[in-house]
Structure 1
């Protein structure tokens, strides 16, 4: 018995820009102008709609590598992931930034380079030939890393954090302002023996240390007799908070800045369980102004952190990419003010 070989299903050819042009009734150049959002050439809106409709119907997607070769650089913005947990506020900020960059026709790629720092990290990032790099941890990059990225073709290198790096545009987030705002608020409410919750979790030092420094700075500036600061370590779990609450009265603190709202809520619940009255015995202040803090009783006072809009930062990245000769600039992007509620 002769077996008839099964017929392989015909492979569908990958649609090309020529296919889109034929279906839309335009030239390949017009397809390129429309799908690459080229602003230098004026294309009518009906033509744009026809090209986009034809591309959707055929399932055509522009080839990013080919486009990069034609342009001489990619449209990729590389965002290395941070080893430090960013929290909800910064996560929302980065989501807005990615959306705004995509609206400007950039492709945002998150790169997990955990454990790599300095020149090694920069070399790994440079292999992808990004047109711009946004590093959330300036300490992990360094001047040599910036040089490596620029030699590989990166037109814009930005760092985000409390430090700046030579050769890169710096988006400074001075966490001292958060602690300073909290201290001034507590002092204005008559609190003198102030505690600073210091997270025991590794990696948060980059945020917690500047905030404690801001608390100290405020206390030195006001020079109020009897004002003091005590650092209090706390792990982010209920058992640690319960142990701290059990010895709270022995610390003699009448006010506390609890690093952020999450640690503040953890501490507040433990203090209430221990019978420590808030704010009568101890005023509690967090930061980040999370919705959950408003639902507590007493409602949580907090330092509201102000960050730039993702759209504004995306436009800044685009400006530097278009004019890579721009001298590295320092942008102070963090503001802080206290929202006074019942816990203080």
Structure 2
């Protein structure tokens, strides 16, 4: 009994089909400049490649160009919701438009070590959410990684980082509530420890705004994505000596849990308790009442990341520091 094994189509097969030299196929398909190849010959090569369903070898491209076309994104084991998914989708599209492929690797127990991943795929660049130890970065660069960029590093972090201060989100949340006349603010913290990298700065932003306004620090409650627990947090806020009248939620999902808890407790939102979220996920506008939130511009976010990486790969100076205020917009609906 035999099996049909399909041999990979090579550039030599395309050259034979088109009746040209293999070097001509390479020049045409790679659009090599300054080559005097007749249009009729170019057409024959493209048609032959299409008939044979020829796909260039990524390994061959890497050898020819001296680098791969892969950008490796190392993600901590965060729960990937709508916001993270939106950013990854925009990054994938933006890199693709520049001839680069984004590969995402989520770190965690039982998952292949990130060191083995970048060694095996030899990426042109590595994106990471946490600073890379100096010895690891040296090993990456020795292996051919030309760009190591730390995403959303703290403001006092490494010079190679891109800063997206989540603290600004907390400041904008509190600013909106204070401007609406609320003098006692709560903060709904997520119950997932993995989110501390985002939740900590957002809470700090709320604390800073309360301090600047001369208010008490925000009363913090951990709120799971469950109505009963959210109702218990609301009860706690209501029975303080100075009751909380408005809450900054870590994100829209936590805010929606609070709205469900308020409904369970027969607390009117926003008349008795105003709630503001963050991320502006697709269901935020469908909540009852529709959720006031902070929108993040993932298109601009992705564009700046890609501009930084591609500039470094091209041997150019990365774009100057940018005003991250352009990333965030307060979307006013009916919950606050």
Category of TM-score, reference length = shorter chain: 0.7 to 0.9
Structure 1 unaligned spans of 5+: 1-5
Determine the structure 1 residue equivalent to 2:279: 288
Deviation at 1:39, TM superposition (A): 5.5
Post-superposition offset of 1:197 = 0.6
Q: Please report how far the alpha carbon of residue 41 of structure 1 lies from its aligned counterpart in structure 2 after TM superposition.
A: 5.3
| Secondary structure at the counterpart of residue 212 of structure 2 | helix
User: Is the 1:84–1:204 Cα contact (8 Å) retained in structure 2?
Assistant: yes
Find out whether 1:185 has 2:179 as its counterpart. Answer: no
Partner of 1:3: none
Partner of 1:131: 124
Structure 2 matches for 1:149-228, cutoff 5 A? 149-163=140-154, 169-223=160-214, 226-228=215-217
Cα deviation for residue 37 of structure 1 reads 5.0
The count of corresponding residues between Structure 1 and Structure 2 is 331
- Larger mean Cα displacement after TM superposition, 59-68 or 212-221: 59-68
Q: Given the superposition, is the C-alpha separation of residues 279 and 126 from structure 1 closer, same or farther in structure 2, using an over 3 Å criterion?
A: same
Shift of 1:291: 2.9
1:57 is aligned, of 38, 43, 51, to: 51
Matched, 1:237 2:229: no
For 1:67 and 1:190, the matched residues in 2 are separated by 61
- CA change 1:104–1:28 in 2 (3 A) is farther
Distance in 2 between the 1:183 and 1:268 partners? 18
Cα displacement string for residues 143-176 of structure 1 (whole angstroms, at most 9, x for unaligned residues): 3332221122111111112437976631211000
Deviation per residue, 1:280-316 (Å, 9 max, x gap):
1111100111232212232211112234253453343
Q: CA shift at 1:320, angstroms?
A: 1.0
Alignment match, 2:101: 107
Residue 43 of structure 1, CA deviation: 6.9
Equivalent-residue separation in structure 2 for 1:58 and 1:113 (angstroms):
39
Deviation of 1:333 after TM superposition, in Å, equals 4.5
Q: Which piece of structure 1 moves more, 60-69 or 151-160?
A: 60-69
Q: Cα gap change, 1:114/1:271 in structure 2, threshold over 3 Å: closer, same or farther?
A: same
Two-structure CA RMSD over aligned residues (Å): 3.0
For residues 141 and 232 of structure 2, the distance between their equivalents in structure 1, rounded to whole angstroms, comes to 51
Supply the distance in 1 between the matched residues of 2:235 and 2:37 (Cα, whole angstroms). Answer: 71
Shift of 1:336: 2.2
Q: What corresponds to 2:313 in structure 1?
A: 321
Residue 342 of structure 1: aligned partner = 334
Counterpart position of 1:142: 133
Shift of 1:19: 1.6
Separation (CA, whole Å) in 1 of partners of 2:274 and 2:36: 62
TM-score, reference length from structure 1: 0.84
Distance 1:218 1:130, change over 3 A: same
1:15 alignment counterpart: 9
Contact 2:78 2:195 in 1 (8 A): yes
Contact 2:153 2:161 in 1 (8 A): no
Query: TM-score, structure 2 length as denominator?
Result: 0.86
> In the alignment, which residue of structure 2 is the partner of 1:278?
269
Query: Aligned equivalents of 2:83 and 2:246: distance in 1?
Result: 24
Name whichever of 309-318 and 253-262 sits farther off.
309-318
Unmatched segments (≥5 aa) in structure 2 = none
In structure 2, distance between residues paired with 1:174 and 1:45: 52
